[in-house]
Amino acid sequence: MAKCAYCDKTVSFGIKVSHSHRRSNRMWKPNVKRVKALVEGTPKHVYACTRCLRSGRVTRAA
């Protein structure tokens, strides 16, 4: 579910390393917000990451 509709940014996986160097899997989720945006001229609820919202890639609907 954590996926941007504009840049297709999704979760990324890695390894969490504790102080004693025990390793376990973890994931980083993008900062995705549900916004009302214009999609092909009609207002629609989409999920967009905050990077796309700040850069002006998303056209917000009133």
Read off the pLDDT band of 62 (50, 70, 90): confident
Encoding tokens for residue 22?
């025990």
Q: Give mean pLDDT, residues 11-31.
A: 97
Stated pTM of the model = 0.79
C-alpha–C-alpha distance, residues 50 and 16, integer Å: 25
Closest CA to 35 of 19, 54, 13, 17: 54
For the chain, the average pLDDT equals 96
- Tokens at residue 48, please? 């967009």
Kind and range of the H or E element at 51? helix 50-55
CB 41 within 8 A of CB 61: no
Domain extents in the chain: 12-55
User: pLDDT band at residue 53, thresholds of 50, 70 and 90?
Assistant: very high
Q: Are 24 and 16 in contact (CB under 8 A)?
A: yes
Tell me the pLDDT band of 57, cut-offs 50, 70 and 90. very high
